[in-house]
Amino acid sequence: MEIGVQAHNLRMLQEAIKSSCSNIRFGSEFCMFRVPTKDQLKEAYLLTKSSGKEFMYVVPRLSDNTLTKIQKHLAFLNQIGTIKVAVNDLGALHVLNKYTNLQPHLGRQLVYIPARCPWGNPAEFNVGFFIKRKIEKIFYKTSLNFKPTIKFFKSLGVQGADIDFIPQCLPHFGFIVRNGINLSVHLHLIPVTTTRKCHLARFLGEKTLEQCSKPCETVAFRMKNDELGDELLLGGNVVFRSMMQKREDIRRLHNFNVSEIVITMNPLTGIASHQELNTFIKDTMTNR
């Protein structure tokens, strides 16, 4: 099982390169206003390849204008060679299909999981045991636990997909792997909801998103609702809930033939340096 690191900017990427990870993802997973420039993308690719690590470009959901920018990035990468691209946008996935050297990989926003909701635990439903079990089967499955969905994405060249670490979902991972999709599992943070207009930028008084100073690279908020009793985390235009893993959780992923675990560098995970990356890798991945 390989170890991937998600880096949103060149500073994080340079730290990730120094770590013991095997794969580096570069780009914005959720915010189209954080898409890198072509020069930044080129530098990120060259730095990663010179380090001997595998490079993946990450593309968020996009507006029409940003999709035009991404097309230029894809054309550039296609000229270089065989490169994986994680897409979170169906339009970008269809565009990507035109480039023969690029390998499509589904981002988390194209894989749907009811259990991302923090307030819908079937164990709390006031129904009978057998009804509850039926609800759980639906609640903890993903959109990829449906053969026609897998067939559709594979027809577009998809070979792998990103997915969240939700313990009750793990038994359903085997079906996806057996049907030819390599799984990459994101640790730490589960996206509950995303917005196109960034709440964090609004709270901090950013004038326009087009010229945003990107405070999400250093700042995040904790949100507590006493009535609902759940703590949520706001990072940029995404509300997350936290899901910390232990060594035995990583062992379970290994047993389900997961191809890769993904560690994200940002204020919410508290991982910003290669030292912190290596400490986490050592504490969770060694002596499986």
In-domain check, residue 207: no
Q: Which pLDDT score is estimated for 22?
A: 95
pLDDT of residue 262: 97
Q: How large is the C-alpha radius of gyration of the chain?
A: 19
Do the domain assignments include residue 115?
Answer: yes
Query: pLDDT digits over 68-120, tens only?
Result: 999 999 999 999 989 999 999 999 999 999 999 999 999 999 999 998 887 76
Does residue 218 fall inside a structural domain? no
Q: What is the DSSP code (8-state) at residue 35? A: P
Q: In what order do the strands lie in the sheet with 238-243?
A: 188-194, 238-243, 230-235, 221-225
pLDDT in the model for residue 254: 86
Is residue 165 a part of any domain in this protein?
yes
Task: Give the per-residue pLDDT at 243.
Answer: 85
Please say if the pLDDT value at position 150 is more than 60: yes
* 165, pLDDT greater than 80: yes
Range with lowest mean pLDDT among 8-12, 39-43, 240-244: 240-244
What average pLDDT is seen over the chain?
90
> Which pTM does this prediction carry?
0.91
Mean pLDDT of the 192-212 span: 88
CA distances from 77 to 42, 83, 84 (A): 8, 7, 10
What is the distance between the alpha carbons of residues 54 and 30, in angstroms, rounded to a whole number?
21
pLDDT of residue 95: 93
For residues 197, 200, 203, 204, the Cα torsion angle rounded to the nearest 10 degrees is -120
Higher-pLDDT residue of 86 and 63 is 86
Would you state the pLDDT for residue 44? Answer: 97
Residue 237 lies in a domain: no
As a whole number of angstroms, the distance between CA 79 and CA 199 comes to 37
Length of the chain: 288
Quick one: average pLDDT of 162-177? 93
Q: Residue 137 above 90 pLDDT?
A: no
Contacts 24+ apart (CB under 8 A), 105-108: 105/56, 105/158, 105/159, 105/160, 105/161, 105/162, 105/184, 106/153, 106/158, 106/160, 106/161, 106/162, 107/29, 107/58, 107/59, 107/60, 107/162, 108/29, 108/162, 108/163, 108/164, 108/186, 108/191
Whether 59 maps to a domain, the answer reads yes
- Cβ-Cβ contacts under 8 Å for 128 (sequence gap 6 or more): none
Alpha helices in the chain, H assignment, sequence order: 10-18, 38-50, 64-80, 90-96, 129-139, 147-155, 173-178, 199-203, 247-255, 274-285
Q: 150: domain CATH number?
A: 3.20.20.380
> Strands 182-186, 260-264: parallel, antiparallel or unpaired by DSSP?
parallel
Q: How many domains does the chain have?
A: 1
Identity at 131, one-letter amino acid code:
I
Query: Parallel, antiparallel, or unpaired: how do β-strands 2-7 and 260-264 relate?
Result: parallel
Nearest Cα neighbor of 242 from 168, 173, 140, 166 is: 166
Strand (E) or helix (H) holding 189: strand 188-194
The torsion defined by the Cα of 20, 33, 200 and 89, in degrees rounded to 10, comes to -80
Task: Give the domain extent around 75.
Answer: 2-191+243-285
Strand (E) or helix (H) holding 57: strand 54-59
Residue 169 lies in a domain: yes
CA nearest neighbour of 184 among 245, 101, 108: 108
- Tell me the pLDDT band of 196, cut-offs 50, 70 and 90: confident
**pLDDT per residue as tens digits for the range 237-278:** 999 998 888 788 888 888 889 999 999 999 999 999 999 999
The pLDDT assigned to 288 comes to 43
Whether 15 maps to a domain, the answer reads: yes
Q: Has residue 227 got a pLDDT over 70? A: no
Q: How far apart are CA 213 and CA 211, in angstroms?
A: 6
